Structure 1
Amino acid sequence: MEAEHGDVWEALRPLCARVMSVPPEAVVPQARLVADLGADSLDITELEAASEELFGVCLRGTDKVGVSTVGDVADLIVRLRTPGAHSTLAR
């Protein structure tokens, strides 16, 4: 799963930078989407939609409690891409 996480991170970092209009170097795993990167609700919605398209996962209906950093988003995407993960998620 470590290789998978690296692949997700490499694609997620520039996506977050573009959506939130911040330099890529500001997008680090511990960066908080709202407090550090200045994301608003529209940015979060755009990031969700773009992530669904890019990674082929469905974020709508998933439990996003505790997802506040870029690293949390990457972890969620990796979990959703793991076989069998969809059956455990609320829809």
Structure 2
Amino acid sequence: MDVEHGDVWEELRPLCARVMSVPPEAVVPQARLVADLGADSLDITELEAASEELFGVSLRGTDKSGVSTVGDVADLIVSLRARPAHTPAAR
């Protein structure tokens, strides 16, 4: 795990635990949001909003179809943070 992933993980883990009402030790990178942590659509929406605020990225308009685990969420946040602040919209 590189420094960026480590930083994101340290903040994402307690956030996921709080939003999904699970113990922090249950939040591991391979934990599936729905199947393992019991997230419902409201939890996912709350996690998205809180992640946007905490990490300063916008998850709106991103392809989240491959995001099913906590590790996937961390990867998405890291990739969004690595993008330049003003990328032109794809046409």
- TM-score normalized by the length of structure 1: 0.91
CA distance in 1, matches of 2:73, 2:15: 12
Counting helix residues as a fraction of each chain, which structure ranks higher?
Answer: 1
SS at match of 2:50: helix
2:31 counterpart of 1:45: no
Q: Which runs of 5+ in 1 are unaligned?
A: none
Q: Which runs of 5+ in 2 are unaligned?
A: none
CA distance in 1, matches of 2:43, 2:67: 14
Task: Give, as a single letter, the amino acid of the residue that structure 2 aligns with 1:48.
Answer: E
The alignment of Structure 1 onto Structure 2 pairs a total of residues equal to: 90
Q: Which runs of 4+ in 1 moved over 6 A?
A: none
- TM-score normalized by the length of structure 2: 0.91
Note if contact 1:22-1:37 (Cα within 8 Å) is conserved in structure 2. yes
CA distance in 2, matches of 1:70, 1:78: 12
| Aligned CA-pair RMSD | 1.9
> Is the radius of gyration larger for structure 1 or structure 2?
2
Identity over aligned residues, as a percent? 87
Equivalence for 2:27? 27
Give the 3 Å change call, closer, same or farther, for CA 61–86 of structure 1 in structure 2.
farther
Task: Give, as a single letter, the amino acid of the residue that structure 2 aligns with 1:81.
Answer: R
